Structure 1
Amino acid sequence: MIKRISAYPDRLRIALLILNESHWSRSIMDGIARFAAEHGGWDFWLHPRGVKTPPSLPTDWQGQGVISRISDEPLRQSIAKHNLPTINVSWHGVHSHRFPKVIADPQAAGRLAGEFFVNRGFEHIGYIGPPLYYSYQDAVLPELVTAAENAGCRTYQFAPDPAVPQPDFDFQRDRLVQWVRTLPKPVGIVAWNTIQAREIMLTCSAEGINVPNDVAVLAVENDPLVSKLSPMPISYIEQRVEQVGYESAKELHRLISGGKPRHTPLLVAPEGIVEKASTDTVFAADTLVQDAVAFIKRNCDVAISVSDLTRHLDVSRRSLEERFRKVLKRSPAEEIRFARVKVLKDILKQTDLTLAEISQQAGFSCENAMLRFFKRMTGLTPGEFRRNHPQDLLHDGQ
């Protein structure tokens, strides 16, 4: 029997049974590591694995707690034998007193995805759910369908061949091609992950279908590397996965300290949509609205107003407002604000500029004006937002 003894007796010994092959899972471990570092450091026992690597916790392992992606019954049983505080970070299974969950909120992600395409004026929304081998009970789809159909949109779900459950979508290529061909255009497609989103884009390229004007693609789960290997960068839902890891470590620490498990899962709400080229279109027959949005995007780092838009387009404010409402279901002022807050988020995530430097670069009159605007739009201070995205600065420097 192997006796596992920490080199630092006062540090907590925590077992991590989490996938290491996906960006999502590595981001969770980033968040766990951040919390541990803030609390004197933890000693981790790791079981690096892929989806098909059978996980288990050795019977002789000694420690104080476990954070795991509990995806099957054998793993659940191997952890249960230790009778230790355990946090489940998987969408698999149900929340329980013994294995409480800390997860990204899948229902909120579904609503956000549906509302995104609705607000862009799409009347048709497609969906590709989790690969069959994941065996998930899909919590994203119902909320997406509700958001879409409440707005009068039609939804279309891709049905993979159950006889071919392999993760390689080449096995589903013919079926995927037929599905994309039959979808009414233009259509917004929500894909469970970036791998599927990339396959949709490759299919469209082979079929001569324009992305994003005929088919716009949004991923629920983001993988930056897969996005870089795609025909164009893929838009995704910012699900704050690193924060899921941080909150799971925080919750485990609370349980180890004598706290009681929560009655319901701890859900980390998504932050919003990160738009890339795969959805960078304005679905509108109204060319004036298209020109207006293009002007806003070109000038999103300066303090433009609706009056600037009307002068540039030589149109009355009332007419512009009515046409925006009809096509995009929002006002020109809202479009300007959304564009400006996106600029601020990008600068905060990708640079280490001071707040004064950011306010100047983003075209604000002063730092306080920028602070008030960002807080009103996001509910967070710039500092809080940046702390939720520490990995972005590190990745940009590599």
Structure 2
Amino acid sequence: MPLSTKNRALQIAVLVETDNGWGRSVVEGVADYAQRFGPWNLLIDPRDHSRGWSLPDRWRGDGIIARVSTPLHLEEIARCGLPAVNVDNVFENQEGMGQVTTDEHSWATMALSHFRERGFTHFAYFAPPSHEYSKKGAQAFFAVVTADGHDCHVYRPGYRGGRRISRDEEHNRIHRWLSHLPKPVAILAVDARRGRQLTEICSLERIRVPDEVAILAGDTDEFLCNLSSPPLSSIAVASQRIGHEAAAMLDRMMQGHTAPIKPLSIPPVRVVGKQSTDVLAIDDPMIVQALRFIQTHAFRGIAVEDVLREVPVSRRYLELQFKRRIGRLPAEEIRRLRLERGRELLTQSDLSVEAISAACGYAGATQFGVAFCRQFGATPLAFRRKLTRS
């Protein structure tokens, strides 16, 4: 168990914006660690009238956790001369600075899997130029889509981050891009704010969501996702865990340990499905019927034979069409749904492995454990311990 090296309360600056769901969740993770292993006094999101960081002159700190997004941020942290951990990936491999971020490859793979199981074969990535996020998300999604044998259309409006353009000009540029995309298309937006921007433009331009354009936000902000019309599907990144792990890393650094050379990458938790991706982009009604049956009954111990009793097609035809349209065989899709539910229950609940295996449609914990380990590289108990380690 980590122990602070001093009896007094340590002074920690948390330079992470709290005006969005991701930032608030990161700060909650830091606060959870501070309450368990402190005492720490947290200086949270100190900003002046210009919305820039502004550490009080009288603040005498011991460490910093920050979302570093500009060279000025790096300069200010270096000037403090304190142990620091970065929770973003705009700047990487900064000597002497720890880093905890979302695993971009897992994030992109989760998004593609969500789209592929709905039958999409056209994909796009939306992230207007900005200093608020790196290009790694676009690169990761482009890589997994092309590796799957498909094209990925990335929004490139032709200007750099930081340039100010009018709302109307931005609207027109995005509308032109949307108009030229092949339909139906599945779009991964970098975050919830940009995802909601897409739904607004689609609504104004009478582009049907999700029938023509399915939209998945790269992070979850319940306020923005629920306010969107239609409600916005999103990827639940492990932002609270990122905050907790960043605090643990900072604690070790304040005790004299050097910053890890490699960033700690945290995989996302799951896709929170809502109406913006609630569609099956498949023109074969039999395959749609089979997919719906699997999605409804996967956790009841069904097998491919049960699916074939539901749809009057041959097993070979069913397997060929599944492989072509969603990249998996029917048996693989059943197994994927069960294991994803198992991973979610391990993450979000305190249910026993036996109860989770039953909830996922497995005959017993041993069968579930073998399948889970084969899929995720760890036993269910080891996976849960890793999530809750301190």
1:102–1:244 Cα contact (<8 Å) kept: yes
The separation in 1 between residues aligned to 2:149 and 2:39, in whole angstroms, is 52
After the TM superposition, which residues 92-111 of structure 1 pair with which residues of structure 2 at under 5 Å, given as runs? 92-110=90-108
The separation in 1 between residues aligned to 2:100 and 2:239, in whole angstroms, is 11
1:233–1:277 Cα contact (<8 Å) kept: yes
C-alpha displacement of 1:48: 4.3
- The root-mean-square deviation of aligned C-alpha atoms, in Å, is 3.3
Which stretch of structure 1 is more off in the superposition, 305-314 or 79-88?
Answer: 79-88
The separation in 1 between residues aligned to 2:19 and 2:48, in whole angstroms, is 5
Which stretch of structure 1 is more off in the superposition, 114-123 or 79-88?
Answer: 114-123
The separation in 2 between residues aligned to 1:344 and 1:119, in whole angstroms, is 18
Aligned length: 382
1:118–1:151 Cα contact (<8 Å) kept: no
Aligned residue in 2 for 1:244: 242
- Asked whether 1:307 is paired with 2:339, we answer no
CA, structure 1 residues 51+187, in 2 after alignment: closer, same or farther (shift >3 Å)?
farther
The separation in 2 between residues aligned to 1:187 and 1:327, in whole angstroms, is 14
Aligned residue in 2 for 1:365: 363
After the TM superposition, which residues 228-267 of structure 1 pair with which residues of structure 2 at under 5 Å, given as runs? 228-267=226-265
CA, structure 1 residues 130+220, in 2 after alignment: closer, same or farther (shift >3 Å)?
farther
The separation in 2 between residues aligned to 1:387 and 1:150, in whole angstroms, is 32
After the TM superposition, which residues 54-203 of structure 1 pair with which residues of structure 2 at under 5 Å, given as runs? 54-110=52-108, 112-114=110-112, 117=115, 121-132=119-130, 134=131, 136-160=133-157, 162=159, 172-203=170-201
The separation in 2 between residues aligned to 1:329 and 1:34, in whole angstroms, is 40
CA shift digits 1:116-156 (9 cap, x unpaired)? 54565533222211453x36441122232233234442232
* Stretches of structure 2 lacking an aligned partner (at least 5 in a row): 1-5
* Stretches of structure 1 lacking an aligned partner (at least 5 in a row): 1-7, 391-398
1:169–1:196 Cα contact (<8 Å) kept: no
Aligned residue in 1 for 2:284: 286
Q: Which residue of 179, 203, 209 maps to 1:211?
A: 209
CA shift digits 1:228-285 (9 cap, x unpaired)? 1112332333332222112211111111111112223222233454433322333223
Q: TM (normalized to structure 1)?
A: 0.82
1:131–1:167 Cα contact (<8 Å) kept: no
The separation in 2 between residues aligned to 1:21 and 1:140, in whole angstroms, is 22
C-alpha displacement of 1:295: 0.5
Q: What percentage of residue pairs aligned between the two structures are identical?
A: 32
| Aligned residue identity for 2:143 | T
Aligned residue in 1 for 2:275: 277
Aligned residue in 1 for 2:326: 328
The separation in 2 between residues aligned to 1:266 and 1:282, in whole angstroms, is 36
C-alpha displacement of 1:112: 4.6
Which stretch of structure 1 is more off in the superposition, 265-274 or 218-227?
Answer: 265-274
Q: TM (normalized to structure 2)?
A: 0.84
1:288–1:313 Cα contact (<8 Å) kept: yes
CA, structure 1 residues 168+9, in 2 after alignment: closer, same or farther (shift >3 Å)?
farther
1:355–1:367 Cα contact (<8 Å) kept: yes
Query: Secondary structure of the residue that 2:80 maps to in structure 1?
Result: coil
The separation in 1 between residues aligned to 2:242 and 2:200, in whole angstroms, is 31
CA, structure 1 residues 241+387, in 2 after alignment: closer, same or farther (shift >3 Å)?
farther
